[in-house]
Amino acid sequence: MTEPRKMNVESFNLDHTAVAAPFIRLADRKELPHGDVLTKFDVRFTQPNVAHLEMDAVHSIEHAFAECVRDHSAQVIDFGPMGCQTGFYLIMSGEHTPAEIRDLVLATMTDMLALTEVPAANEVQCGWGAHHSLEAMRAAVEGFTARGDELLTVMR
């Protein structure tokens, strides 16, 4: 069998059949022209091609995580969902290890589980304000955090 050609997108080079979700992995590191560094982490909730998050859960996790994580770190650039609905990308300024990011993610998720509503889940602050579920967000986050000790193991 011929090896697939190397793709420009890092995640397209990841063997999605060999990973064991949930996990956190360093997906990319970029040094910018003036020496600043960005690190991108794959925060994977579900097993690719086996399960996915429903969109109301994705949307609510995105809102809650993006709001809560900034209480823990000023180095967060972005937290955005994957189109496949299996996880998110967390982009940070500076150098960070997967273990540091695991601790940041778990601290953030502890805050998320204490929320009584999804942040900015209204039509003034969100483009689809009615499309949220606090319950679906909590269930996904509880499932992810329950496996906290395993999050740095990416491959089966």
Q: What angle do CA 77, 73, 9 make, to 5 degrees?
A: 30
Q: Which domain CATH number covers 85? A: 3.30.1360.80
C-alpha atoms less than 13 angstroms from C-alpha of 77 in its C-beta half-sphere: 14
Q: How far apart are CA 40 and CA 36, in angstroms?
A: 13
44 domain-assigned: yes
> Which H helix or E strand runs over 138?
helix 134-145
Q: Tell me the per-residue pLDDT of 75-118, one tens digit each, with 9 for 90 and over.
A: 999 999 999 999 999 999 999 999 999 999 999 999 999 999 99
Six token digits for residue 43:
């925060």
Decide: 72 and 91 in contact? Cβ < 8 Å.
no
Q: What is the model's pTM?
A: 0.95
* Containing structural domain, residue 43: 17-150
Q: Tell me the per-residue pLDDT of 22-61, one tens digit each, with 9 for 90 and over.
A: 999 999 999 999 999 999 999 999 999 999 999 999 999 9
88 domain-assigned: yes
